């Protein structure tokens, strides 16, 4: 089951990331063909993010209904089972008092989730992180094209250095996670991202701008997964599902609102 689930997760994240990379890279070359201002990329980004914000806010309820449906299917399939030995073993081992059963996720309303201590602060962190990453992803190509004088093809290619930095950084941070805590990875990422922003705004060399984009990508890479990984430890496994939902909503609310204004 795990071997089947992992490819599905990978495909889901690839499909989620494609609009981010393609829109920012292609926009410097196509906005003139549509005869619209360059700032309209923010509107397209807002439309993409709107659906994700909505689904994130409803994720806790949707998962609960899906689990209920799966439970019903499994219950109805019990008569079809031919081997009953496992049922007795399960009853004796897991049904006995004092067994260490995993915490059952709580289905919480949005008003209940935001009252959990630390949730508002975590939502703010996700909001700020997403502002940095999405703004850089959406406007990097346009910045290189209009302010650094690159042609559209080169700007689109070098804007991909941001995503190359994220990809390489995620691979390296996965190794570093063996020795470093989530908090240490987040701090390291923040320092690298801040250095990248400082390099990016230095006037002059396009090479420095490309290096700045790479540094921003490297800095962003450990922050998002580390914050998600820390969620069950901070809020408890029973409330982590609900907390993750509002974190995703906060992240995509930033993607929905800020790149348009910052562009």
pLDDT tens per residue across span 43-90 = 777 777 777 667 666 766 666 666 667 666 665 665 655 544 444 444
pLDDT value of position 96: 40
What whole-number distance in Å separates Cα of residue 136 and Cα of residue 225? 18
What whole-number distance in Å separates Cα of residue 127 and Cα of residue 118? 14
What whole-number distance in Å separates Cα of residue 28 and Cα of residue 152? 6
pLDDT value of position 26: 76
pLDDT tens for each residue of 131-178: 898 888 888 888 888 888 888 888 888 888 888 898 899 889 889 988
Q: Which fold has domain 38-72+104-262?
A: Growth Hormone; Chain: A; (1.20.1250)
Q: Where are the alpha helices (DSSP H) in the chain?
A: 2-30, 41-57, 59-76, 85-94, 110-113, 119-146, 152-159, 161-176, 182-200, 206-220, 223-235, 237-262
Give yes or no for a contact between 208 and 202, defined as CB atoms under 8 angstroms apart: yes
pLDDT tens for each residue of 206-255: 888 899 999 999 999 999 889 988 888 888 888 887 888 888 888 878 87
pLDDT value of position 153: 82
Closest CA to 249 of 105, 54, 110, 118: 54
What whole-number distance in Å separates Cα of residue 201 and Cα of residue 28? 19
Q: Which two tokens stand for residue 91?
A: 């009853």
Closest CA to 195 of 219, 175, 179, 167: 219
pTM: 0.67
pLDDT value of position 18: 64
Torsion of CA 116, 118, 119, 124, to 10 degrees: 150
Residue 91 has pLDDT above 70, yes or no: no
For the chain, the residue count is 263
Residue 99, classified by CB atoms within 10 Å of its CB into exposed (0-12), middle (13-18) or buried (19+), is exposed
pLDDT value of position 79: 62
**Tokens 């089951």 identify what position?**
1
What whole-number distance in Å separates Cα of residue 223 and Cα of residue 186? 5
Give yes or no for a contact between 247 and 124, defined as CB atoms under 8 angstroms apart: no
Top mean pLDDT of 8-22, 30-44, 46-60, 128-142 is at 128-142
What residues contact residue 11 under an 8 Å CB cut-off, 6+ apart?
none
CA distances from 92 to 87, 102, 182 (A): 9, 17, 39
């Amino acid at each position: 089951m795990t071997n089947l689930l992992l490819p599905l997760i990978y495909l889901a994240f690839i499909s989620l990331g494609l609009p981010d990379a393609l829109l920012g890279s292609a926009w410097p070359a196509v906005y003139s063909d549509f005869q619209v201002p360059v700032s309209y990329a923010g509107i397209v980004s807002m439309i993409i993010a709107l659906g994700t914000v909505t689904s994130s806010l409803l994720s806790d309820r949707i998962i609960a209904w899906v689990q209920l449906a799966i439970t019903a299917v499994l219950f109805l399939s019990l008569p079809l089972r031919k081997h009953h030995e496992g049922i007795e073993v399960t009853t004796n081992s897991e049904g006995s008092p004092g067994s260490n059963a995993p915490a059952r996720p709580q289905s919480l309303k949005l008003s209940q989730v935001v009252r959990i201590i630390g949730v508002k602060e975590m939502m703010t962190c996700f909001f700020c992180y997403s502002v940095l990453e999405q703004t850089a992803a959406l406007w990097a190509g346009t910045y290189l094209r209009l302010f650094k004088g690159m042609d559209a093809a080169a700007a689109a290619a070098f804007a991909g250095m941001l995503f190359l930095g994220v990809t390489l950084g995620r691979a390296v941070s996965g190794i570093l996670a063996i020795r470093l805590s989530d908090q240490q990875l987040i701090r390291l990422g923040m320092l690298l991202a801040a250095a990248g922003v400082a390099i990016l705004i230095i006037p002059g060399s396009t090479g420095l701008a490309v290096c700045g984009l790479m540094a921003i990508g490297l800095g962003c890479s450990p922050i998002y997964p580390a914050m998600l990984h820390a969620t069950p430890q901070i809020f408890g496994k029973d409330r982590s599902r609900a907390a993750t939902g509002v974190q995703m909503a906060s992240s995509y609310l930033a993607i929905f609102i800020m790149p348009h204004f910052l562009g």
